[in-house]
Amino acid sequence: MSHTDPSLSPLMALLGQAERERDDAVGHARRAETAQATAQGQAEQLVAYRLDYEGRYREKFSRQASIDQFQTYQGFMGRLSLAVDQQQLMVANAARRVEAARAVVREQELRVASVRKLIERRLAELRLAADRRDQKQTDEFASRAAWNRLNEDRQSASA
């Protein structure tokens, strides 16, 4: 039996739909991974900037700093630390979205595999039915041939 058997049409349509949904889920997961990597990169840049700024402050103000300069530095560092913390939250949220998207991909892969298994079983059933039909025809042909030989032998014996 081939994949063009009419009884397979609904299963083939289901497989096509399941594969499209899986492909969509894979695309969504890739976009989520890209967003996470971008957020992580931004977080790393902020941390590096904060470290660099702290280093420059220490070097510049180790000699002499006014109270206004120190307060400005502390205010900016507070805002920068807040930005780092918020970016880390964004990274964590992006990681959760990646895991959720990967779970959907796994579910869709399982669905595709299940539909493929159904198709394999249906093909096996169709092959078995065809084999049984072929065997029945072969048995009938052999039976007729034996009957014909028996009749020929009887006719030869009576003649």
Q: Which residue ranges form the domains of the chain, and what is each CATH number?
A: 6-123 (1.10.287.1700)
Looking at residue 3, the DSSP 8-state letter turns out to be T
Question: Do 86 and 10 touch, CB atoms closer than 8 A?
Answer: no
The whole-chain average pLDDT of the chain stands at 91
Can you say whether residue 124 is alpha, beta or left, with left for phi > 0 and alpha for psi between -120 and 50 degrees? alpha
| Span of 54-58, 102-106, 111-115, 131-135 with lowest mean pLDDT | 54-58
Q: What is the dihedral of CA 103, 108, 111, 112, to 10 degrees?
A: -140
Q: What's the pLDDT tens digit per position in 8-63? A: 999 999 999 999 999 999 999 999 999 999 999 999 999 999 999 998 888 777 77
pLDDT at site 64: 76
**Of 75-79, 141-145, 153-157, which has the strongest mean pLDDT?**
75-79
pTM of the entire predicted model: 0.72
- Using 50, 70 and 90 to split pLDDT, how confident is the model at 3? low
What does the alpha-carbon distance between residue 139 and residue 134 come to, in Å, rounded to a whole number? 9
pLDDT higher at 2 or 145: 145
Whether the per-residue pLDDT at 2 is higher than 60: the answer is no
- Is residue 35 within 8 A of residue 92, CB to CB? The reply is no
- Percent of the chain, pLDDT > 70? 97
What does the alpha-carbon distance between residue 126 and residue 121 come to, in Å, rounded to a whole number?
9
Give the per-residue pLDDT at 1.
45
Residue 159 is predicted with a pLDDT of: 65
Report the distance separating Cα 28 and Cα 103, nearest Å: 11
